[in-house]
Structure 1
Amino acid sequence: MPPADLSLRDLRSFLAVVDEGTFTDAAIALRTTQASVSRHVGALERALGVRLLQRGGRIVTLTVAGRRVVAHARRLQDEAEAVLRAAQDEGREVRVGYAWAALGGHTATVQREWARRHPGSELTFVNSATRFAGLTEGIAEVAVVRRDPGVSQLASALLGHEDRMAALPSAHPLARRRLLRMADFAGQTVALDVATGTTTPDLWTPQQAPGAFREVRGTDEWLTVIAAGRAIGLTSQATAAQYSRTGVVFRRLRDAPTVAVHLIWWRQDPPAYLDELCAVVREAYARAGRPAAGPTP
């Protein structure tokens, strides 16, 4: 037997009669006519192939089948209303995914500016230590990344640039210095997040090359390995601004290339707020002296 073709209006009318006790009162609650309520209830009963309500007398009552159906009907109505709310909530909460450090020291600044421009909207940053920083999981509509995901279905916009920082165990000899160079990594073990990190072996010349690389996954494991003295790290300035870990110190690098920060989204489904969000973030980076040097999306 094929599944019944259920209508949300039919379910709503049926539940209104159950809750109000009569077709007349249900019509008043729904701000419609008694004939419309009766028509929708009848359509639901025909779709299900059973009688749901006992007509006659002052109060309408449920049949045996109606008592079995009513709880499921409420759940269906609740789910349908949740779908409608989700579809209508675009703009009330803007969810931005990130794999490592959101926007670092600019994160709170951008959130405050967004709230000032859109009092009814909230800009939320959600962490997802995945290649697409929450896009494929559906937890974010756009995402901040610091390496090209290399997928044609995704579009991107340059937001700004960040300096690179060395991350060291607090007892490491290099931690005594305020400024470091890429050559200071020579012979050291460097922690790499190969999935989402910004550090790759080709950042060093053969003469500067670290002695070994230790693969980690995500910011927490990266910080833990460094705090334990098992490796040192290279990261964007955003990581240093956003994370603090006992036993880890960050030092500036004189000669490291900057990190490009991008916003990515599904090419076929750009959100309505995209241009304005990019503008707000770019303004924050420009004020810090690290502007984007690319066109708007």
Structure 2
Amino acid sequence: MSIELRHLRCFLAIADTLSVTRAAERLHLTQPAVSRTLRRLEQELGVRLVDRSTHHLALTPDGAAFRDRAAVAVAAFDRALGFAHHPGWPLRLGHAWSAAGTDTTALLRRWHKEHPGTPLELLRVDDRTAGLARGEVDAALLRGDVHTPGLVTEQLTTEPRVAGLPADDPLAHRAALSLAELADRTIALNTVSGTTTLDLWPASARPSSTITIGNTDDWLAAVTGGRAVGVTTSATAEMHPHPSMAYVPLTDAPPVPVVIAWRDEPGHPHIPDLVALAREVMGVRQVRHVPQHV
């Protein structure tokens, strides 16, 4: 048996849902058919992709590694077919949160004006590489250090860090804060695509209470709901104003680099144009004042 596209699509549906039942519903197949397809793929690869030993399915380390490669292969196939029917091949730009900050509109409008025949699609993907490593986008705007193999990055700018607090918090009206003043609070950590970890604090003064969330929307809800406080960048303050939210500059937290990234392989022919435009639009950004209440 040789591996076919249907085997990859079946595995990706299982990987995304972590459920044979939900994967079958997504693919409009029966559960036995999905199980057989997965089993045949594992037999052909000679590795176990899914751990079925618990009540909940989980990817094995081999499965997690293969998921990204399978996603790239399926995305490339779909793009090849789509190109045959759409002469204006869209350029997909991913981001996990806040896109290009307040430069987002300028970036999109400049692109539309200068490259009217190639649509630029801005896609939010809650993933450390905003879908780039998995082939869901052609390029991505990312924050923090990027060490994913196979990606090329260029730093565009940096963003100062700010504390995110409920608007009625005792510290919300301060002109600035230090990390130490947040150490006795519960910290909301976005472990999927965020840049804040406990390593931001000195080892001897790290917060002892955290909650884990997976995207910016949940981070905002945790803070405005009074469950936690957080640390983010000025772009979040610019792109996600909220009447129940206060953003206060941090005096001793290092800035966060903002990079544009793309895969180190043949890709969309307009990636160099996008990199050049992003460099022009975002590279001249000055550090802006971050209002406490926005």
With structure 1 as the length reference, what TM-score do the two structures score?
A: 0.64
RMSD between superposed Cα atoms in Å = 2.4
| Aligned with 2:284 (options 287, 290, 294) | 287
1:164 is aligned to: 161
Identify unmatched segments of 5+ residues in structure 1: 1-81, 291-297
Superposition map of 1:1-297 within 5 A: 85-87=82-84, 89=86, 92-206=89-203, 208-289=205-286
Q: Which amino acid aligns with 2:127?
A: T
Runs (4+) of structure 1 exceeding 4 A deviation are 82-85, 87-92
The 3 A distance-change label for structure 1 pair 257 and 88 is: farther
Q: Which amino acid aligns with 2:163?
A: A
Query: Using the alignment, how far apart are the partners of 2:219 and 2:87 within structure 1?
Result: 35
CA offsets, 1:234-269, max 9 Å, x none? 011111111133422212222221111122222123
The 3 A distance-change label for structure 1 pair 153 and 83 is: closer
1:66 is aligned to: none
Deviation at 1:123, TM superposition (A): 2.1
Query: Using the alignment, how far apart are the partners of 1:89 and 1:157 within structure 2?
Result: 30
With structure 2 as the length reference, what TM-score do the two structures score?
A: 0.65
Query: Using the alignment, how far apart are the partners of 1:84 and 1:218 within structure 2?
Result: 32
The 3 A distance-change label for structure 1 pair 287 and 136 is: closer
Query: Using the alignment, how far apart are the partners of 2:208 and 2:169 within structure 1?
Result: 16
Deviation at 1:152, TM superposition (A): 1.7
Report the 3-state secondary structure (helix = DSSP H, G, I; strand = E; otherwise coil) of the residue aligned with 1:179: coil
Deviation at 1:134, TM superposition (A): 1.8
- The number of aligned residues is 210
Q: Which amino acid aligns with 2:263?
A: W
Provide the identity percentage: 34
Checking the alignment, whether the CA contact within 8 Å between 2:83 and 2:89 is kept in structure 1 is no
Checking the alignment, whether the CA contact within 8 Å between 1:105 and 1:242 is kept in structure 2 is yes
Query: Using the alignment, how far apart are the partners of 2:84 and 2:179 within structure 1?
Result: 49
Checking the alignment, whether the CA contact within 8 Å between 1:190 and 1:210 is kept in structure 2 is yes
Question: Larger Cα Rg: Structure 1 or Structure 2?
Answer: 1
Query: Using the alignment, how far apart are the partners of 1:267 and 1:181 within structure 2?
Result: 39
Deviation at 1:91, TM superposition (A): 5.9
Report the 3-state secondary structure (helix = DSSP H, G, I; strand = E; otherwise coil) of the residue aligned with 2:172: helix
